[in-house]
Structure 1
Protein backbone atom coordinates (compact mmCIF):
# COMPACT_ATOMS: atom_id res chain seq x y z
CA UNK A 1 0.00 0.00 0.00
CA UNK A 2 1.45 3.38 -0.96
CA UNK A 3 1.80 6.39 1.42
CA UNK A 4 -0.67 9.18 0.67
CA UNK A 5 0.89 12.18 -1.00
CA UNK A 6 -0.38 14.57 1.68
CA UNK A 7 1.59 12.62 4.31
CA UNK A 8 4.80 13.86 2.73
CA UNK A 9 8.18 12.56 3.44
CA UNK A 10 8.38 10.63 6.75
CA UNK A 11 11.80 12.01 7.71
CA UNK A 12 10.45 15.50 7.14
CA UNK A 13 7.60 14.84 9.53
CA UNK A 14 9.97 13.39 12.08
CA UNK A 15 12.19 16.46 11.78
CA UNK A 16 9.21 18.78 12.12
CA UNK A 17 8.07 16.93 15.22
CA UNK A 18 11.53 17.16 16.72
CA UNK A 19 11.69 20.89 16.01
CA UNK A 20 8.27 21.40 17.57
CA UNK A 21 9.35 19.47 20.66
CA UNK A 22 12.55 21.47 20.91
CA UNK A 23 10.60 24.71 20.55
CA UNK A 24 8.17 23.63 23.29
CA UNK A 25 11.07 22.64 25.56
CA UNK A 26 12.77 25.98 24.91
CA UNK A 27 9.53 27.83 25.65
CA UNK A 28 9.07 25.92 28.92
CA UNK A 29 12.70 26.57 29.85
CA UNK A 30 12.38 30.31 29.17
CA UNK A 31 9.11 30.46 31.08
CA UNK A 32 10.68 28.64 34.04
CA UNK A 33 13.74 30.90 33.96
CA UNK A 34 11.56 34.01 33.86
CA UNK A 35 9.62 32.73 36.83
CA UNK A 36 12.85 32.01 38.71
CA UNK A 37 14.20 35.45 37.84
CA UNK A 38 10.94 37.03 39.02
CA UNK A 39 11.12 35.10 42.28
CA UNK A 40 14.76 36.08 42.73
CA UNK A 41 13.95 39.74 42.08
CA UNK A 42 11.13 39.57 44.62
CA UNK A 43 13.46 37.91 47.14
CA UNK A 44 16.19 40.48 46.52
CA UNK A 45 13.69 43.33 46.91
CA UNK A 46 12.45 41.81 50.18
CA UNK A 47 16.00 41.34 51.44
CA UNK A 48 16.90 44.90 50.43
CA UNK A 49 13.88 46.26 52.30
CA UNK A 50 14.78 44.09 55.29
CA UNK A 51 18.35 45.43 55.29
CA UNK A 52 17.09 49.01 55.01
CA UNK A 53 14.81 48.45 58.00
CA UNK A 54 17.65 46.78 59.91
CA UNK A 55 19.97 49.71 59.16
CA UNK A 56 17.31 52.17 60.30
CA UNK A 57 16.78 50.18 63.49
CA UNK A 58 20.53 50.08 64.11
CA UNK A 59 20.78 53.84 63.58
CA UNK A 60 17.94 54.39 66.04
CA UNK A 61 19.57 52.07 68.56
CA UNK A 62 22.91 53.81 68.12
CA UNK A 63 21.21 57.17 68.56
CA UNK A 64 19.55 55.95 71.74
CA UNK A 65 22.84 54.55 73.01
CA UNK A 66 24.61 57.83 72.25
CA UNK A 67 21.85 59.75 74.01
CA UNK A 68 22.04 57.42 77.01
CA UNK A 69 25.83 57.76 77.10
CA UNK A 70 25.51 61.55 76.86
CA UNK A 71 22.99 61.53 79.71
CA UNK A 72 25.37 59.46 81.83
CA UNK A 73 28.25 61.74 80.89
CA UNK A 74 26.40 64.90 81.89
CA UNK A 75 24.35 63.47 84.78
CA UNK A 76 26.84 64.40 87.49
CA UNK A 77 27.67 67.83 86.09
CA UNK A 78 23.98 68.71 85.98
CA UNK A 79 23.73 68.08 89.71
CA UNK A 80 26.46 70.54 90.63
CA UNK A 81 24.84 73.84 91.61
CA UNK A 82 26.23 77.32 91.99
CA UNK A 83 24.32 79.92 94.00
CA UNK A 84 25.74 83.42 93.62
CA UNK A 85 24.83 86.84 94.94
CA UNK A 86 26.35 90.30 95.27
CA UNK A 87 27.24 91.23 98.83
CA UNK A 88 28.67 94.09 100.84
CA UNK A 89 25.90 96.64 100.29
CA UNK A 90 25.05 98.60 103.43
CA UNK A 91 23.13 101.64 104.57
CA UNK A 92 24.63 104.23 106.88
CA UNK A 93 22.82 106.16 109.58
CA UNK A 94 21.78 108.85 107.14
CA UNK A 95 20.14 106.45 104.70
CA UNK A 96 22.93 106.45 102.15
CA UNK A 97 23.45 103.05 100.51
CA UNK A 98 26.86 101.65 99.80
CA UNK A 99 26.78 99.41 96.70
CA UNK A 100 27.81 95.77 96.77
CA UNK A 101 31.56 95.33 96.62
CA UNK A 102 32.05 91.59 96.15
CA UNK A 103 30.50 88.28 95.10
CA UNK A 104 29.52 85.40 97.36
CA UNK A 105 29.24 82.01 95.66
CA UNK A 106 28.12 78.74 97.24
CA UNK A 107 28.93 75.57 95.30
CA UNK A 108 26.79 72.58 96.23
CA UNK A 109 27.60 69.08 95.01
CA UNK A 110 24.21 67.37 94.83
CA UNK A 111 25.60 64.39 92.90
CA UNK A 112 26.49 60.97 94.30
CA UNK A 113 30.22 61.31 93.57
CA UNK A 114 32.95 63.78 94.39
CA UNK A 115 33.93 66.66 92.13
CA UNK A 116 37.57 67.71 91.97
CA UNK A 117 39.81 70.66 91.17
CA UNK A 118 37.01 73.08 92.02
CA UNK A 119 37.58 76.81 91.59
CA UNK A 120 35.56 79.97 91.01
CA UNK A 121 36.86 82.83 88.89
CA UNK A 122 35.33 86.27 88.71
CA UNK A 123 35.38 87.79 85.27
CA UNK A 124 38.62 87.27 83.39
CA UNK A 125 41.01 88.64 86.03
CA UNK A 126 40.03 87.62 89.54
CA UNK A 127 40.38 84.44 91.57
CA UNK A 128 38.60 83.79 94.85
CA UNK A 129 39.87 85.75 97.83
CA UNK A 130 38.34 83.53 100.54
CA UNK A 131 37.16 79.92 100.41
CA UNK A 132 35.42 78.02 103.20
CA UNK A 133 33.70 74.71 103.69
CA UNK A 134 30.00 75.41 104.01
CA UNK A 135 27.05 73.59 105.50
CA UNK A 136 24.11 73.22 103.10
CA UNK A 137 21.29 75.38 104.37
CA UNK A 138 23.65 77.28 106.68
CA UNK A 139 22.52 80.74 107.72
CA UNK A 140 24.92 83.21 106.07
CA UNK A 141 24.48 85.58 109.01
CA UNK A 142 26.32 83.03 111.17
CA UNK A 143 29.42 83.27 109.03
CA UNK A 144 31.39 80.34 107.69
CA UNK A 145 30.76 76.84 108.95
CA UNK A 146 34.42 76.48 109.82
CA UNK A 147 37.13 79.02 110.49
CA UNK A 148 39.54 76.90 108.45
CA UNK A 149 40.06 78.43 105.07
CA UNK A 150 40.51 76.31 101.96
CA UNK A 151 42.84 77.00 99.01
CA UNK A 152 41.55 78.80 95.93
CA UNK A 153 41.66 75.47 94.07
CA UNK A 154 39.69 72.99 96.18
CA UNK A 155 40.95 69.46 95.64
CA UNK A 156 37.54 67.84 95.99
CA UNK A 157 34.00 68.40 97.24
CA UNK A 158 32.29 65.22 98.36
CA UNK A 159 28.68 64.20 97.66
CA UNK A 160 26.19 66.43 99.44
CA UNK A 161 28.92 68.87 100.52
CA UNK A 162 29.21 72.59 99.84
CA UNK A 163 31.97 75.19 99.66
CA UNK A 164 31.65 78.97 99.72
CA UNK A 165 33.82 81.19 97.54
CA UNK A 166 34.11 84.97 97.97
CA UNK A 167 35.61 87.34 95.45
CA UNK A 168 38.01 90.16 96.29
CA UNK A 169 36.38 93.43 97.20
CA UNK A 170 36.36 95.95 94.40
CA UNK A 171 34.20 98.70 92.89
CA UNK A 172 30.54 98.16 92.12
CA UNK A 173 31.30 98.46 88.41
CA UNK A 174 33.90 95.69 88.69
CA UNK A 175 31.42 93.56 90.60
CA UNK A 176 28.86 94.04 87.85
CA UNK A 177 31.38 93.30 85.10
CA UNK A 178 33.03 90.30 86.77
CA UNK A 179 30.35 87.63 87.28
CA UNK A 180 31.48 84.29 88.69
CA UNK A 181 32.25 81.14 86.72
CA UNK A 182 32.63 77.77 88.41
CA UNK A 183 35.15 75.25 87.06
CA UNK A 184 35.33 71.63 88.20
CA UNK A 185 36.20 68.09 87.09
CA UNK A 186 33.74 65.22 87.39
CA UNK A 187 34.51 61.66 88.48
CA UNK A 188 35.58 60.82 84.90
CA UNK A 189 38.06 63.74 84.79
CA UNK A 190 35.94 65.72 82.32
CA UNK A 191 36.30 69.45 82.90
CA UNK A 192 33.15 71.58 83.22
CA UNK A 193 32.25 75.25 83.55
CA UNK A 194 29.11 76.76 85.03
CA UNK A 195 28.24 80.44 84.83
CA UNK A 196 25.96 82.44 87.09
CA UNK A 197 23.35 82.25 84.32
CA UNK A 198 23.85 78.56 83.64
CA UNK A 199 20.18 77.63 83.82
CA UNK A 200 20.80 74.66 81.53
CA UNK A 201 23.68 73.34 83.62
CA UNK A 202 27.40 73.16 83.17
CA UNK A 203 29.11 73.03 79.78
CA UNK A 204 32.07 70.79 79.03
CA UNK A 205 35.42 72.52 78.68
CA UNK A 206 37.84 71.23 76.08
CA UNK A 207 41.55 71.63 76.92
CA UNK A 208 42.71 75.13 76.09
CA UNK A 209 39.20 76.49 75.53
CA UNK A 210 38.38 79.95 76.91
CA UNK A 211 35.92 80.42 79.78
CA UNK A 212 32.27 80.46 78.66
CA UNK A 213 30.81 83.85 77.84
CA UNK A 214 28.43 85.26 80.42
Structure 2
Protein backbone atom coordinates (compact mmCIF):
# COMPACT_ATOMS: atom_id res chain seq x y z
CA UNK A 1 0.00 0.00 0.00
CA UNK A 2 1.42 3.42 -0.95
CA UNK A 3 0.98 6.49 1.29
CA UNK A 4 0.94 9.81 -0.36
CA UNK A 5 1.11 13.11 1.54
CA UNK A 6 -0.29 16.13 -0.11
CA UNK A 7 1.69 19.32 0.45
CA UNK A 8 -0.31 22.49 0.02
CA UNK A 9 1.06 25.73 -1.40
CA UNK A 10 3.22 27.97 0.92
CA UNK A 11 1.18 30.76 2.56
CA UNK A 12 3.42 33.75 1.71
CA UNK A 13 1.00 36.17 3.24
CA UNK A 14 1.98 35.00 6.79
CA UNK A 15 5.76 35.48 6.35
CA UNK A 16 5.88 39.30 6.65
CA UNK A 17 3.70 39.12 9.74
CA UNK A 18 6.03 36.57 11.32
CA UNK A 19 9.12 38.57 10.43
CA UNK A 20 7.53 41.76 11.74
CA UNK A 21 6.63 39.98 14.94
CA UNK A 22 10.21 38.76 15.40
CA UNK A 23 11.68 42.21 14.73
CA UNK A 24 9.12 43.86 17.01
CA UNK A 25 10.01 41.47 19.79
CA UNK A 26 13.72 42.01 19.22
CA UNK A 27 13.24 45.80 19.17
CA UNK A 28 11.20 45.65 22.37
CA UNK A 29 13.89 43.54 24.04
CA UNK A 30 16.65 45.94 22.95
CA UNK A 31 14.56 48.93 24.07
CA UNK A 32 14.01 47.27 27.44
CA UNK A 33 17.72 46.54 27.82
CA UNK A 34 18.55 50.12 26.79
CA UNK A 35 16.09 51.60 29.31
CA UNK A 36 17.37 49.24 32.00
CA UNK A 37 20.97 50.27 31.28
CA UNK A 38 20.03 53.96 31.24
CA UNK A 39 18.20 53.62 34.54
CA UNK A 40 21.22 51.91 36.04
CA UNK A 41 23.48 54.68 34.75
CA UNK A 42 21.12 57.36 36.08
CA UNK A 43 21.05 55.63 39.47
CA UNK A 44 24.84 55.46 39.55
CA UNK A 45 25.08 59.13 38.54
CA UNK A 46 22.59 60.14 41.23
CA UNK A 47 24.54 58.16 43.82
CA UNK A 48 27.77 59.81 42.66
CA UNK A 49 26.17 63.27 42.78
CA UNK A 50 24.85 62.55 46.30
CA UNK A 51 28.29 61.44 47.47
CA UNK A 52 29.92 64.49 45.87
CA UNK A 53 27.33 66.79 47.46
CA UNK A 54 27.96 65.19 50.86
CA UNK A 55 31.70 65.53 50.39
CA UNK A 56 31.38 69.18 49.31
CA UNK A 57 29.16 69.95 52.32
CA UNK A 58 31.71 68.36 54.66
CA UNK A 59 34.45 70.41 53.00
CA UNK A 60 32.37 73.57 53.35
CA UNK A 61 31.77 72.91 57.05
CA UNK A 62 35.48 72.21 57.56
CA UNK A 63 36.35 75.48 55.84
CA UNK A 64 33.85 77.37 58.01
CA UNK A 65 35.38 75.85 61.16
CA UNK A 66 38.93 76.55 59.98
CA UNK A 67 38.01 80.14 59.12
CA UNK A 68 36.40 80.61 62.53
CA UNK A 69 39.49 79.17 64.24
CA UNK A 70 41.79 81.44 62.22
CA UNK A 71 39.66 84.47 63.03
CA UNK A 72 39.64 83.56 66.73
CA UNK A 73 43.42 83.10 66.69
CA UNK A 74 43.87 86.43 64.91
CA UNK A 75 41.56 88.11 67.43
CA UNK A 76 43.53 86.60 70.30
CA UNK A 77 46.80 87.86 68.79
CA UNK A 78 45.28 91.30 68.26
CA UNK A 79 44.10 91.49 71.88
CA UNK A 80 47.15 89.85 73.40
CA UNK A 81 49.07 93.02 74.36
CA UNK A 82 45.98 94.85 75.59
CA UNK A 83 45.18 91.89 77.87
CA UNK A 84 48.62 92.23 79.47
CA UNK A 85 47.70 95.70 80.78
CA UNK A 86 46.33 95.25 84.28
CA UNK A 87 44.60 97.74 86.49
CA UNK A 88 44.15 97.65 90.28
CA UNK A 89 41.78 100.20 91.79
CA UNK A 90 42.16 101.20 95.45
CA UNK A 91 40.07 103.59 97.53
CA UNK A 92 42.42 105.58 99.78
CA UNK A 93 41.11 107.54 102.82
CA UNK A 94 42.37 111.12 103.06
CA UNK A 95 42.53 112.93 106.43
CA UNK A 96 39.93 112.46 109.11
CA UNK A 97 36.92 114.13 107.49
CA UNK A 98 35.61 111.10 105.60
CA UNK A 99 37.30 112.12 102.34
CA UNK A 100 38.88 109.63 99.96
CA UNK A 101 40.58 109.43 96.60
CA UNK A 102 40.99 106.70 94.06
CA UNK A 103 44.50 105.37 93.46
CA UNK A 104 44.64 103.29 90.29
CA UNK A 105 47.70 101.16 89.54
CA UNK A 106 48.30 100.33 85.88
CA UNK A 107 50.94 97.70 85.04
CA UNK A 108 52.06 97.01 81.49
CA UNK A 109 52.91 93.30 81.58
CA UNK A 110 53.54 93.07 77.84
CA UNK A 111 56.87 93.17 76.01
CA UNK A 112 56.07 96.43 74.17
CA UNK A 113 55.07 99.92 75.29
CA UNK A 114 51.55 101.32 75.41
CA UNK A 115 50.83 104.96 74.63
CA UNK A 116 48.47 107.86 75.33
CA UNK A 117 47.20 106.59 78.68
CA UNK A 118 44.21 108.54 80.00
CA UNK A 119 42.41 107.82 83.25
CA UNK A 120 38.86 109.03 83.79
CA UNK A 121 36.85 108.80 86.99
CA UNK A 122 33.14 108.54 86.34
CA UNK A 123 32.18 110.54 83.27
CA UNK A 124 33.52 113.98 84.12
CA UNK A 125 36.80 113.71 86.02
CA UNK A 126 40.34 113.01 84.86
CA UNK A 127 43.36 111.93 86.89
CA UNK A 128 44.71 114.68 89.10
CA UNK A 129 48.19 113.15 89.43
CA UNK A 130 50.20 110.30 87.94
CA UNK A 131 53.35 108.70 89.35
CA UNK A 132 55.78 105.99 88.47
CA UNK A 133 54.64 102.82 90.24
CA UNK A 134 57.31 100.93 92.19
CA UNK A 135 56.99 97.43 93.64
CA UNK A 136 54.80 94.41 92.95
CA UNK A 137 51.01 94.67 92.71
CA UNK A 138 50.58 91.14 94.05
CA UNK A 139 52.34 92.10 97.30
CA UNK A 140 50.31 95.21 98.01
CA UNK A 141 49.95 98.81 96.90
CA UNK A 142 52.71 100.18 94.68
CA UNK A 143 54.97 102.86 96.09
CA UNK A 144 54.88 106.26 94.42
CA UNK A 145 58.01 107.10 92.48
CA UNK A 146 58.70 110.02 90.18
CA UNK A 147 55.73 112.20 89.33
CA UNK A 148 54.83 112.12 85.65
CA UNK A 149 52.78 114.31 83.34
CA UNK A 150 49.14 113.48 82.75
CA UNK A 151 47.84 112.31 80.34
CA UNK A 152 50.72 109.83 80.32
CA UNK A 153 52.33 109.66 76.86
CA UNK A 154 54.15 106.35 77.25
CA UNK A 155 54.30 103.38 79.62
CA UNK A 156 57.14 101.02 78.75
CA UNK A 157 57.17 97.24 78.81
CA UNK A 158 57.18 95.92 82.37
CA UNK A 159 56.57 99.40 83.83
CA UNK A 160 53.77 100.58 86.10
CA UNK A 161 52.06 103.89 86.80
CA UNK A 162 49.77 105.10 89.57
CA UNK A 163 46.92 107.47 88.66
CA UNK A 164 45.27 109.38 91.46
CA UNK A 165 42.02 111.27 91.52
CA UNK A 166 41.29 114.40 93.47
CA UNK A 167 39.93 113.97 96.99
CA UNK A 168 36.15 113.68 97.35
CA UNK A 169 33.67 112.73 100.01
CA UNK A 170 33.93 108.97 100.28
CA UNK A 171 30.54 108.36 98.66
CA UNK A 172 31.53 110.49 95.65
CA UNK A 173 34.88 108.72 95.39
CA UNK A 174 33.12 105.37 95.55
CA UNK A 175 30.70 106.24 92.73
CA UNK A 176 33.30 107.65 90.32
CA UNK A 177 34.87 104.41 89.18
CA UNK A 178 37.96 104.59 86.92
CA UNK A 179 38.25 103.78 83.21
CA UNK A 180 41.61 103.62 81.44
CA UNK A 181 42.06 104.40 77.74
CA UNK A 182 45.30 103.50 75.99
CA UNK A 183 46.78 102.67 72.59
CA UNK A 184 48.67 99.43 72.04
CA UNK A 185 51.87 98.99 70.05
CA UNK A 186 49.84 98.22 66.89
CA UNK A 187 47.94 101.51 67.11
CA UNK A 188 44.66 100.03 68.37
CA UNK A 189 42.82 102.08 70.99
CA UNK A 190 41.40 100.25 74.03
CA UNK A 191 39.24 100.94 77.04
CA UNK A 192 39.66 99.04 80.33
CA UNK A 193 37.31 99.60 83.25
CA UNK A 194 37.68 98.77 86.93
CA UNK A 195 35.72 95.53 86.45
CA UNK A 196 38.30 94.28 83.96
CA UNK A 197 36.12 94.77 80.89
CA UNK A 198 38.34 95.37 77.85
CA UNK A 199 36.87 96.92 74.71
CA UNK A 200 38.26 98.29 71.48
CA UNK A 201 37.56 101.99 71.02
CA UNK A 202 36.44 103.11 67.59
CA UNK A 203 38.57 105.95 66.24
CA UNK A 204 37.59 108.34 63.49
- TM norm structure 2: 0.86
Question: Within 5 A, what are the aligned runs for 1:191-206?
Answer: 191-198=189-196, 201-206=197-202
Number of residue pairs aligned between Structure 1 and Structure 2: 197
Q: Which has the larger radius of gyration?
A: 2
- Tell me what 2:108 maps to: 109
**1:58 Cα deviation after fit:** 1.0
Q: Secondary structure of the equivalent of 1:194?
A: strand
How far apart in 2 are the matches of 1:60 and 1:144?
49
Query: For residues 26 and 3 of structure 1, do their structure 2 counterparts lie closer, same or farther at Cα, with a shift above 3 Å needed?
Result: farther
Is the partner of 1:134 in helix, strand or coil? strand
CA separation in 1, counterparts of 2:186 and 2:83? 14
Alpha-carbon shift at residue 9 of structure 1 (Å)? 2.0
2:34 alignment counterpart: 29
**Distance in 2 of aligned mates of 1:26 and 1:12:** 20
Comparing both structures, which one devotes a greater share of its residues to strand?
2
Q: Is the 8 A contact 1:108 1:136 kept in 2?
A: no
Q: CA deviation at 1:121?
A: 0.8
Q: How far, CA to CA, are the matches of 1:3 and 1:134 in structure 2?
A: 131
Aligned residues of 2:133 and 2:143 also touching (Cα < 8 A): no
Give the 3 Å change call, closer, same or farther, for CA 141–160 of structure 1 in structure 2.
closer
Deviations 1:27-67 (A, max 9, x none): 11000000000001100110111111111111111111121
Q: TM-score, normalised by structure 1?
A: 0.82
Which consecutive residues of structure 1, in runs of 5 or more, have no partner in the other structure?
91-96, 209-214
**What are the ranges of 5 or more consecutive residues in structure 2 without an aligned counterpart?**
1-6
> Of 14, 17, 38, which aligns to 1:12?
17
Give 3-state SS (helix, strand or coil) of 2:145's partner.
Answer: coil
Q: Distance in 1 between matches of 2:117 and 2:148?
A: 11
Query: Please, what is the CA RMSD of the aligned residues?
Result: 2.4
